[in-house]
Amino acid sequence: MKRMVSMTVFLVLLMVSFSWAAERIRIGYSSISGSYIGLWVAHDAGLFQKEGLEDQIILIPSGSQLAQVAVAGEVEIAALNGSSAMAAALQGADIKIIGNTVNKMIFSVYVRPEIKTVEDLKGKKLGVTRFGSSTDISARFALRKFNLQPEKDVIILQMGSMSSIMGGLQGGSIEAGTVSPPTLFAVDKLGFKELINITDMNLTFPNPSLIVQGGVLRSKPDVIDRFMRAYVRGIHRARTDKELTLKSIGKYSRVQDVFFLQKAYDLYVGKVLEKAPYINMEGMQNALDDLAKTVPAAKTVKPDRFIDLHFLEKVEKSGLLKELYK
């Protein structure tokens, strides 16, 4: 009997020691997009916990707001477009980009039935989530490609979220909206027309980047190492456990149509998401060039200033990727 009691006490103490050892990590992400599948799957599959992390993932639907939250140290990891991260750094924020989950813009401009051509957008309202967000940057890029001047030729409105853009199209408060999968597929099903496929324009861009505040980098490097390992495992799990991944996409996007979930999976997991959060330097420069339109300081700096590759390089040297993809 005493041995059973002793064993029970031992197990309880062991469990308590594990709970004490777990490091809390708060992970913010800025939109409902397949770009965050690696985070969603790593959370749902318990991969952060396996690395000894007590993780919390938080949606803050604005890249600029999430950058501010990260700068304040209220999240340890922030996943948002690289342009917002570099803009914050140019204003003095102590933050670094440690990786990119996607290195191109994945968006389309959808319109109401009365809009037949890009020229028809003149004088009309186009919805984005927030000014300075990936939806905003993509929309302005696309409009300029068709010789339309944002604000002057086309009114750009902040809608707050992807779901609000979809609601604006349905209610008629906007004639066009910039959306990404899986919301894009839901918009398509409602009968709205894809006018511009920005994805096919191959705009190389850090969207999103993973950013960390400098104080966190210096005080909790082991936590960032463990996050990186869990994230890489999350991407691998997404590639090898389709059922779990489809459930995660549906859970966070609130899209339940299996056909649309499958399309989102095929696009992001099959073609877009990096096996590890590699950084495309051309995309980083594109983000700086776009930023230079409104932030003069961006004209004279190089992307390297904003990047810390230490954690990504450590994952590569550890052999984890070779182990997962042998």
Q: Report residue 289 as tokens.
A: 């060039």
Q: Which amino acid is at 8?
A: T
Architecture of domain 108-201: 3-Layer(aba) Sandwich (3.40)
**Cα three-residue angle 241-245-251, rounded to 5 degrees:** 150
Cα end-to-end span (Å), the chain: 49
pLDDT(8) > 60 = no
From-to residues of CATH 3.40.190.10 in the chain: 23-104+205-324, 108-201
Task: Write out pLDDT tens, residues 282-292.
Answer: 999 999 999 99
Query: Among residues of the chain, what percentage have pLDDT more than 70?
Result: 94
Mean pLDDT for the stretch of residues 299-323: 96
Q: What pLDDT does residue 9 have?
A: 45
Residue 12 pLDDT grade (very low, low, confident, very high; cuts 50, 70, 90)? very low
pLDDT(70) > 70 = yes
Number of C-beta neighbours around residue 249 at 10 A? 27
Fold topology of 23-104+205-324: D-Maltodextrin-Binding Protein; domain 2 (3.40.190)
Beta bridge partners of 56: 26
Between 31 and 311, the higher pLDDT residue: 311
Q: Report residue 131 as tokens.
A: 């000014």
Alpha helices in the chain (DSSP H): 2-21, 37-44, 47-50, 63-71, 82-90, 134-145, 162-171, 183-189, 214-219, 221-240, 242-253, 258-267, 281-291, 310-318, 320-324
Per DSSP, the chain holds a count of helices (H) and strands (E) of 15, 10
Mean pLDDT for the stretch of residues 192-220: 95
Residue 21 pLDDT grade (very low, low, confident, very high; cuts 50, 70, 90)? low
φ, ψ for residue 57 (rounded to 5)? -105, 135
CB 141 within 8 A of CB 198: yes
Q: Which amino acid is at 62?
A: S
Task: Write out pLDDT tens, residues 250-271.
Answer: 999 988 889 999 999 999 999 9
Q: What pLDDT does residue 2 have?
A: 47
Mean pLDDT for the stretch of residues 147-152: 95
- Of 263, 110, 96, 241, residue with least CA distance to 174: 110
Pairing of strands 193-197, 155-158: unpaired
pLDDT(16) > 50 = no
Beta bridge partners of 158: 128
At 250 the three-state DSSP class reads helix
Dist. CA 85–CA 87, nearest whole Å? 5
pLDDT(6) > 90 = no
Between 130 and 5, the higher pLDDT residue: 130
- Helix, strand, coil proportions of the chain in percent (round to 5)? 55, 15, 30
Dist. CA 218–CA 318, nearest whole Å? 21
Dist. CA 324–CA 295, nearest whole Å? 42
How long a stretch of residues is the chain? 326
Alpha helices in 200-319 (DSSP H): 214-219, 221-240, 242-253, 258-267, 281-291, 310-318
Dist. CA 129–CA 293, nearest whole Å? 20
Mean pLDDT for the stretch of residues 21-42: 93
Q: Report residue 42 as tokens.
A: 């790593």
